[in-house]
Every structure is written in structure tokens, then in C-alpha cells.
Structure 1
């Protein structure tokens, strides 16, 4: 809640800073936090601005307000005599600056989300034909990522293209890499992804099961067709031989009867 209040105060102050009326005056109070990468040295400023001119400023390094100009010096002296305000400013170094700095680091600098990787053909093609494979790398954070292609474990760099790293609405990123190749039966084609969220490289193979199943169905169909033709021919010759044998037998019997007559 305190972090939300801090962000709202900054937004309102920035809006007022750039929308000064043509007449009258504008008074602004801006909270400003400066800190190093390890969040050990935090400096908290409270800037009071009158008509876009800095009037007074609280500096946590000195622990008091500093005035600019005669009016500013009077205000600084008045603020420094308010014990409750001095205690509040010291507390705000932790509740506003250090708290939001840790929140920022956890949500951005220290946030790690591993990618989801899929490999697929961009259009149907058969073995021996020219085709293109697409490697979709989705939902990763931070945006630094390396994508490469492997053919039977050997990295390839030719006929490879890639999109830019694209930002998603959920503070994650996506990237698409493409490999143009002639499909070969039995060849292993993989997309390898290296990202800070992964302990080791992630390799995803192109799944050839659908293409292999297609060829398997064709092979099985050809086998059954060949077996069917063979059986049909065998039955035909068997029936023909049987029919011819019966015809010859009947003709022999007829000749024997005629000789007896």
C-alpha cells in the first residue's frame, strides 16, 4: 500500500509539474529516492517546488531541510523545528525508498522466468522436400536469450533467421527462430535455447512422428495392396488350374463312353 501511495504521488507531481496554469501558482512536493545496486546506500529527497522553482529540499544525508532563497530558508527552518516531520522523514527512508527498491529488484532485475519452447513446420512437406522449421520461444524473462539450431548435434548457422525479441503484456518476452532445410529421414533437428533462468541449455527436438506415421500408413497400405494382389493372383491360378483339370477329366470320360459304343 505504501509503495502504491509513493507511485501515485510521483505521478501526480509529474503531472502538475508540466501543467502549470497561466495565472496563479502551483505548489508541488516530490519524493525522490536514489540508491546503489546493492541498496545499501539510500538517499531520500523531499523536494518542495513553487511555480517550478525549488523552494526547500529534505536530504536524508544531512537529516534536515535545506532552503533556497529567503522564502525557502524560512520554510526550511520551520520544517526542521517540527519533530514529528523529522521522525517521519527518517522512517520514510525505509518505508518508501528501501522497500520499493527491493520490490523493484524482485520484479525486474532478479525476476527469472524460463521459456516455453516449441518446434514445428511452417507448412506441410515430405522427406526430400525443402521446408522451414519454426522454433517458438515464449514467456521468458529477462529478455536476453540465445537461440541456435542443431542437426544431429552439430550447430548450423546457414539458412537461419530470427525475429526480434518481442514484449508481452505480462512483462515477459517471446522470440521466433527459423531454419530452412531439406528434410531427411532419421535426422535429428533440435532448437537449443540458452537463458539465465535455465541451469543448462534447453534442447527441443522437432517431432517427426506425424510425418513418420504418414509414411508408415503408406507403407502398410502398399504392403496390404501387394498381399491382396498376390492372393488374388494365387486364387485365380488355383481356380483356373482346378477348372482346367475338371474340364479335362470330363472330356476323358466322354471319349471313353464313345469308344464303348
Structure 2
């Protein structure tokens, strides 16, 4: 199995408490792109009424506070070596163990995506073009779809749906790019998934709008059908003429 080309996040811990209408949540997760410890980021976050106020980060090796209360607790916990040691140990105990199970049980059952790049007519007053990169039939759901202009990543004018389950273990996703055609540029949809040994790249051909290509295809089909019918009529006419010529006449 090829190494993972994008980061995957595994949620493994969730604690919830509620008192007098307030709610505190603690969430731990592992972000990784291989089973090597150096490629694993373990975080443990503390939320109060939906606001994250404190987080432990294994890459930093310490707690970070995001509110006044969180900063005070981060300072206290960072000065406690036993707390820091126990949190750092979770990266091995939880992350590395579960990631190993993920690689041995989930990745071998992965399904590579298929993709289609097409254009859509934008709403009135919108951009001259809207490109859509539709990705289908992939598993597991973790995937990255991005856009490139002449090899450089595009960050503006991009919107994507969430990974949507098809109901048959497979997923699909659709990414939209607001696109103003420019001469000589190359637009590419890039798809990265754990089932792929290298990214799937789809280049957009702006030489002719898709609607025009469809019209030409339909017109060509009609022309071919017309030629076939004309040929059949000509053959039928010739055969009838030959029969009348061969029949002897009587006085």
C-alpha cells in the first residue's frame, strides 16, 4: 500500500458534562499521514459552551490557552511534569495503536475515486465560467480536492461540498471553481486519496465550451444517421430499378 498522500484525522475521545445549562466537552484526535510517530499530531482540546479555551499539542509538547481562563490553566499544567508526560504518552498509547489498526484494516479495503471535470453555466451576473470537479465512488471518505493554475494552487473562488455518502459504502464530493478564462493558462483539478499511489490530475480544455462540444457531437450523430438512411434508400431504389429491367416484356 502506498503511503498516505493527505492527513487523516481520527477522533478517539469524547467527554461531555452539563451543569446548570452549561456544557463542557473534551475532544482528542490524531492527525497523521503515516504510522511513524514523527508524522502524527496528537491534540486534546477543552471546550466550554462551544468555545475552545485550552489545547494540548504534541508537536508543541505543551498546553496552549485561548482565553484568559485557558491561559492560566495552560501555565499551571505546563509547570506540572507529570501532566505533560501523561499527555505526551497518549500519542503512543492512543494514536499510534489506532493508526496501526487503521492502516491494517481500513486502507486495504479502500476504493479509488473516479473523477469528471466539466463546466456549468453560472448565475446571471456571475463569473464567465464555473468549473466543477466531481469525484465519485471512493472509500474511505477522507479525500482532498484542490485546483491548480499553471501548477500553482488556487485558493480563491473555490467552494466544495462535504463528502456525501452514496448509501453503498462509497462517497462523492463536488468542488466548484469560479473561472475567468485567460489565454495560455492551464487549469487542473487535483484529487488526493489514500487509495491512490499518486494524485489524480484532470486538465481542463478551454478550447471549446462544453455546450458547443455537445452541439457538435449531436450534429455529427445526426449527419451520420442521415447518410446511413440516404445510402439505404439509394440501395433500395437501385434494386427496384434492376428488377424492372430484368423482367421480359411480352407483345
TM-score, structure 1 as length reference:
0.37
Q: Which has the higher strand share?
A: 2
The structure richer in helix per residue is 1
Which has the greater radius of gyration?
1
> With structure 2 as the length reference, what TM-score do the two structures score?
0.39
RCO comparison, higher one (Cα < 8 Å, 6+)? 2
